[in-house]
């Protein structure tokens, strides 16, 4: 999967959801180091450390813009000191939009460069 990320300032606001809410954004450089590594693996197409990396993210809570099923894929962002997958994820739509969640999908920030 090849991703091309846009540009903006860290924690600026951008419109990005179907229900006209504002969605926060985060720059790649502001991601935790493990998030930057996960994004690098996504751009390279893997290999991924967790078996569930790359599975369909269904967006049941509709916190991301609406798309057909299968559009979004989720990837684990390692959490230091945690033995399981933890709560941090990057969810990407094809081909160019990625979102970071530090709280297991309760909130998302669109990732930009």
Active site residues: 74, 104
DSSP line for 53-95 = TTEEE--TT--S----TTSEEEEE---TT-SS--S-EEEEETT
Q: How far apart are the first and last CA of the chain?
A: 17
What is the Cα 110 distance to its own chain's centre?
A: 7
List the beta bridge partners of residue 112. 27
47: tokens are 């290999």
């Amino acid at each position: 999967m090849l991703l091309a990320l846009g540009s903006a300032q860290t924690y600026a606001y951008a419109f990005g959801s179907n229900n006209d809410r504002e969605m926060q954004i985060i720059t790649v450089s502001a991601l935790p180091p493990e998030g930057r590594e996960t994004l690098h693996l996504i751009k390279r197409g893997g290999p991924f450390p967790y078996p569930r990396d790359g599975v369909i993210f269904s967006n049941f809570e509709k916190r991301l813009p609406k798309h057909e099923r299968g559009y979004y894929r989720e990837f684990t962002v390692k959490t230091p000191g945690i033995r399981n997958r933890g709560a941090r994820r990057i969810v990407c739509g094809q081909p160019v939009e990625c979102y970071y969640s530090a709280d297991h999908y309760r909130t998302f920030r669109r990732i930009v460069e």
